[in-house]
Structure 1
Amino acid sequence: MRFGYREACLDHDTGARHPETADRLRAIRRALSKRHGVAYREGSLADRSAIEAVHDADYVAEVEEFCADGGGTWDADTVAVEATWEAARASAGLACWAVEEALDGADGRQTPFSIGRPPGHHAEYDEAMGFCFFNNVGVASQQALERDGIDRVAVFDWDVHHGNGTQDIFYDRSDVFYMSIHERGLFPGTGEVLETGGPDARRTNINLPLPGGSGDDEYTAAVDRLLEPALERFDPDLFIISAGFDAHEHDPISRMRVSTEGYGHLTKRVREISDDLDAALAFVLEGGYGLDALADSVGMVHEVFDGREPIAPDGDVMSKSKRVIDDARDAHDL
């Protein structure tokens, strides 16, 4: 794979006790250094105009001023320093790089994966939260839609938290499909099954709040029974994975049970779906706070594109999870 990475993302200093630290990127880079075929690109800082295409201009100015004044605590979870302004622009720019690479034909072993930080999927139109300042996937999706011939973008968010920001930005848009698998009851407490899209965007927003303990079998069932048929109907030109790895069985802040091998199988399935739909495919890093689990999982994604055949799960889907999947299918007429 080609990985987007920029040193400026390390300068966003959240403090020693914060779960979202620069060590996340360092751990990923160490793991990838042991693997074949890894290449890095820096991308460019996201322009203000690209950020303001999905965020309120006054809010963007507020973030810039907050950082220029030295930063501090934006909310209980979200902190900044002076360097956060450039890091946030770098992270959004790397997501844009990944999307542009994919749309320009990078696939197979050249498939792009942006590993910027801060993450983005909690950043709403006019508010930072959940470690996020700018919605990286949102900025990149909108930039893609401004290209000739790109009419529809699909986002699959497998981070363990609901991407309330991505939903907030695109909920009333019929040209962006969003699906989130997340742990029920976990921060930020949003993402209900019956939230299916605004009046002019019905069936473009799928939420799957699975119970704690869901793992490889449940995530695979969600892809096979929900994501694949929904995307066949939506027919996107671009498919973005909001790739958080905090649903891993060894992540410290969730109760989900996805294994490293499970992330490999998910990667195989989204690649198959994108190929079947002839959609460009790009990955953008979100969460993941167990350093070894995060690094191993990103490494697994790379290995699948480098030829590894992951083992498919063959267990039973928990009854509680099956009911949620069935409810979501019913809500979307699938």
Structure 2
Amino acid sequence: MKFGYSDTCLDHETGVRHPESPDRLRAIRRGLADAHSVEYVEADPSERERIRAAHDGEYIDSIETFCDSGGGNWDADTVVSEGTWEAALASAGLAEWAAEAALSGSDGRQTPFSIGRPPGHHAEEDDAMGFCFFNNVAIAAQSVIDSGEADRVAIFDWDVHHGNGTQDIFYDQGNVFYASIHEDGLYPGTGDVEETGTGAGEGTTMNLPFAPGTTTAAYLAALSEVIGPAVEAFDPDLFLISAGFDPHEHDPISRMRVSTEGFGCLAAAVREIADDADAALGFVLEGGYGLDTLSDSVRKVHEVFDGYQPIEPDEPVSEGARDVIDAVKTEEFPGL
């Protein structure tokens, strides 16, 4: 894979006890050190006008001012340092690069994966939260639409937390489809099955809140039975993955049970969906807070695009997950 990376993203300092630390990127780089077909690309930082595609101008100014003043706690979870502004611009720029590279034809072993930080999917139009300042994947999606490089974009978020910011930014738009699998009841508490969009965006949001302990099998069933058919019906030009690795069974801040091999299976599944929809495919890093599980899982995704065939789990879909999938299929998206 081609990995978008910038040392500038290490300058966002969160403190020694914060789970979203620069060590996350260092761990990924170490995990890929001896992998085949790895290429790193440093993209230009995002421009303010591109960020305004997803965020309120006064909010953008307030983030810059807060960083210039030395930072502090934006909220209880979201820490700002003097280097956060430049890191956030770099992270958004890397996500834009991933979208543009995918649309320019980078696929197969050249499939783009942006490994910027801070992450983005919790960032709302006018507020930072959940470790996120600028919504990287939303900026990338809206930017390629605004530039005419894509008419329609689909986003699948497999982070353990619901991407409330991404959902809200596109909730009333008809040209971006957003789907999320996340742990039910976990921060930020959004992402109910009934949340499907409004106005022009009605039917362009799909949520599958799974119970703690849900395994890889349920994720794969959701992809094959509802998310894949919905993406194919939406007919996007670009399919972006908000790739959070905190659903891992050994991640320190979640209770889901996706294995390292399972992330390989997810990568293979989204690649198949993109192929079926004839859509370009790109990845944007979100969460993942166990350094070993994060690096191992990113490497597994890379290996899939380097020719590895992941082994699907021989396990049943849990009854609770089956109920959620069936509710999406029969109540919210009966046409699938």
TM-score normalised by structure 2 residue count: 0.98
Superposed, which structure 2 residues align to 1:62-211 within 5 Å?
62-148=62-148, 150-211=150-211
| CA-CA distance at 1:183 after TM superposition | 0.1
Aligned counterpart, 1:325: 325
Aligned counterpart, 2:16: 16
TM-score normalised by structure 1 residue count: 0.99
Which residue identity lines up with residue 258 of structure 1 in the other structure? Answer: V
Write the distance in 1 (CA, Å) between the matches of 2:217 and 2:55: 36
| CA-CA distance at 1:194 after TM superposition | 0.4
Distance 1:240 1:146, change over 3 A: same
Which residue identity lines up with residue 333 of structure 2 in the other structure? Answer: H
Write the distance in 2 (CA, Å) between the matches of 1:236 and 1:22: 33
Write the distance in 2 (CA, Å) between the matches of 1:223 and 1:314: 17
Write the distance in 2 (CA, Å) between the matches of 1:268 and 1:90: 28
| CA-CA distance at 1:144 after TM superposition | 1.1
Count of equivalent residues: 334
The 4+ residue runs of structure 1 with deviation greater than 4 A are: none
| CA-CA distance at 1:149 after TM superposition | 5.4
Q: Determine helix, strand or coil for the equivalent of 2:199.
A: coil
| CA-CA distance at 1:53 after TM superposition | 1.1
Write the distance in 2 (CA, Å) between the matches of 1:323 and 1:280: 31
| CA-CA distance at 1:11 after TM superposition | 0.6
Q: Determine helix, strand or coil for the equivalent of 2:201.
A: coil
| CA-CA distance at 1:233 after TM superposition | 1.1
CA RMSD of aligned residues (A): 0.7
Write the distance in 1 (CA, Å) between the matches of 2:149 and 2:293: 38
> Any idea what the Cα deviations from partners look like across 1:249-280, whole Å, max 9, x if unmatched?
01011110000111101100111111121100
Q: Determine helix, strand or coil for the equivalent of 2:143.
A: helix
Contact (CA 8 Å) 2:170, 2:201: kept in 1 or not?
Answer: no
> Any idea what the Cα deviations from partners look like across 1:154-176, whole Å, max 9, x if unmatched?
00000000000000100000000
Aligned counterpart, 2:29: 29
Write the distance in 2 (CA, Å) between the matches of 1:190 and 1:228: 22
Q: Mark the runs of 5 or more structure 1 residues left unpaired by the alignment.
A: none
Superposed, which structure 2 residues align to 1:245-324 within 5 Å?
245-324=245-324
Which residue identity lines up with residue 286 of structure 2 in the other structure? Answer: E
Aligned counterpart, 1:214: 214
299-308 vs 227-236, greater mean Cα deviation: 227-236
| CA-CA distance at 1:332 after TM superposition | 1.3
Q: Mark the runs of 5 or more structure 2 residues left unpaired by the alignment.
A: none
Q: Determine helix, strand or coil for the equivalent of 2:178.
A: strand
| CA-CA distance at 1:210 after TM superposition | 0.3
